[in-house]
Amino acid sequence: MRERIWLNWAMHAGFYLLLAASALRLVSRHDMGTRTVASLVVGGLLALTYTAGVVLWNRLGRGRVVWLAGVAAVWLVLVVLAPSFSWCAVPLLFLCLRSLNARGFAVAAAALTLVVIAAQLKIAREFDLSLILAPIGIAAMTAVIFWELQRESAARQLLIDDLISTRGTLADSRHRTGVLEERERLAREIHDTLAQGLTSMGILLQAADRMWASDPELARAHVRRAAAAAAENLDEARRFVRDLQPPGLVEASLPEALARLCADTGNGTGPDVRFRQEGEQHPLEPEVQAALLRVAQGALANVRDHSRAGTAMVTLSYLDGEVTLDVFDDGAGFDAPAPAPGRGYGLRAMRDRMAEVNGVLVVESVPGEGTGIAATVPTGARHETGRRSDEAVSGRRPSGGPGGAGGAARR
């Protein structure tokens, strides 16, 4: 801790200042006799011993206690020769706090205090109770202050360790969240591209097999469509692994991609799917276009696989402040929103796609009257990030027909 480093240096500076002040007092008040010279020599030895420990502090390790004992022994000899050096006990008390456990510190503090009291009584001309109480009070205050600083430092270090641990946990959580989000993205892409493409190829190949003997040319046409679907799905797979735009939007606008999707969905083996555009086309962000195209793919796959519909209508409407995609069919519809076993991912994937672009997905269906899906995305308001629920717009009935993507809630 930075504060603790400054405190250490302050205590070291205090030791040298007290040592220098005691030496000046000794020289100014005593003749340079043998005792005085010996005191100065021992004082110099104490300074060198103390300095060696400060410089080699990190290397001493457990040897700090031995060094502290050596410093205390030299200081004790110095106090015997010149009692004025006794006040160097304050920084030494700090060293004891840094180097010893609680019991060892208590013993060392008591011993240092007794030495100071004895030294003060020796140099005093007459007995004064303050000579006993003052060292005890100073030692007690010094110990309490240093102890509290050490406790706060330990508590702060514990808090820092907790923050570091929490940061590591948060990083792991973000990593897991990123992995789950990527899995979800791949699951949606696989559902809307590869799974639907494989289903379409299966239908085409089954149709070709049924009519191979009766109408070879039409059977070959179905096989060629299946081969084209396989190529498109391979391109889709490569692109969604790289998180790129759907191939239908690379060289075509959203209306053109939807029109082609409708034509491919019908292709003689499914319901008659028609496309209609309303309003004047205006630019949309790439992720909005991709989301609407994927919703249309999922909805038409539901129409083809579940609705038993004869016709379906896809309408793209450019409105003031929003764009809407409506998919309607005249199929069987549904009543209970319970998905069939192993199904039910389609609608959830559509809602997730709409939520990513701040859009809303509304599904309405009446048994025997078909189903409707309406996907609405606001334009020019992408700074909002909240996920809007279907309930918030439950009063809005999709325009243009009774319902979309028949049986969608079963998917």
pLDDT score at 82? 87
Q: Where is average pLDDT lowest: 45-54, 143-152, 388-397?
A: 388-397
pLDDT score at 360? 92
User: In terms of C-beta density within 10 A (0-12 exposed, 13-18 middle, 19 or more buried), how is residue 384 classed?
Assistant: exposed
Confidence of residue 185 (pLDDT cuts 50, 70, 90): low
pLDDT score at 315? 95
Fold for domain 254-410? Heat Shock Protein 90 (3.30.565)
pLDDT score at 35? 85
pLDDT score at 407? 41
**Contact criterion met (CB below 8 Å) for 375 and 354:** yes
pLDDT score at 389? 36
Specify the length of the chain in residues. Answer: 411
Highest mean pLDDT among 57-61, 232-236, 249-253: 57-61
Closest CA to 24 of 43, 9, 51: 43
0.75 exceeded by pTM: no
379 secondary structure, DSSP code = S
Element (H, E) at 377: strand 370-378
* Rounded-to-5 percentages of helix, strand, coil across the chain: 70, 10, 20
pLDDT 10s digits, 10-35: 888 888 888 888 888 888 887 778 88
d(CA 201, CA 281): 32
Kindly state the tokens that stand for 150: 């050490």
**Contact criterion met (CB below 8 Å) for 370 and 333:** yes
Residues whose CB is less than 8 angstroms from the CB of residue 140 and which lie 6 or more positions away in sequence, other chains included: none
**Which residues pair with residue 276 across a beta bridge?**
315
pLDDT score at 292? 92
pLDDT 10s digits, 107-136: 888 888 888 888 888 777 777 777 788 778
Question: Per-residue pLDDT averaged across 372-399, rounded?
Answer: 55
d(CA 200, CA 213): 22
Residue ranges per domain, the chain?
2-128, 254-410
What DSSP string describes 12-24?
HHHHHHHHHHHHH
